[in-house]
Amino acid sequence: MMHCGGLLLQTSFQGLLKKQGGKRSAWEYPFAVAGVNITFMIMQMLDLDATKPGTFIRSVFLQILSENEWAFDLLYCVAFVVMDKQWLERNATYMEFNEVLKSTRCQLERELLMEDVLRIEDMPSYNLLC
């Protein structure tokens, strides 16, 4: 069963997969590789592999997750569109992928720690979804 934003997420992901948004770079990132790296980046950012509570951002996310079981899916999609937007803005090359990913992580962390962000949908970057 798909959550209420499922169609929004499907539309956003189709746009990313087909590289439809913006003036595309001559050196595109491989979609599947980007997805794996984004998953790993989010796991590190949220300290999900830790056996005991670690970071404050992890606590914030666990609170969001306790109220919405789709929070990780939403955060993943937001992370992907933020990464894609930064990729295009920088006209990045494949060799700059890690730098773009680092910048994406910093932006997500800042937004998750904003006082008025109580859900993924409250993050400013959520508006980037189609």
* Dihedral angle of Cα 52, 100, 97, 50, to the nearest 10 degrees: 0
Residue 1 pLDDT level (bands cut at 50, 70, 90): very low
Backbone torsion region of residue 30, taken as left when φ is above 0, otherwise alpha when ψ lies between -120 and 50, otherwise beta: beta
Cβ 125 vs Cβ 83: under 8 Å: no
pLDDT in tens, 60-105: 999 999 999 999 999 999 999 999 999 989 988 889 999 999 999 9
- pLDDT average, residue stretch 51-64: 85
Quote the CA–CA distance of 106 and 32 in Å, as a whole number: 22
Question: What mean pLDDT, rounded, does the chain reach?
Answer: 84
Cβ 106 vs Cβ 119: under 8 Å: no
Domains of the chain by residue range = 28-128
Residue 16 has pLDDT above 80, yes or no: no
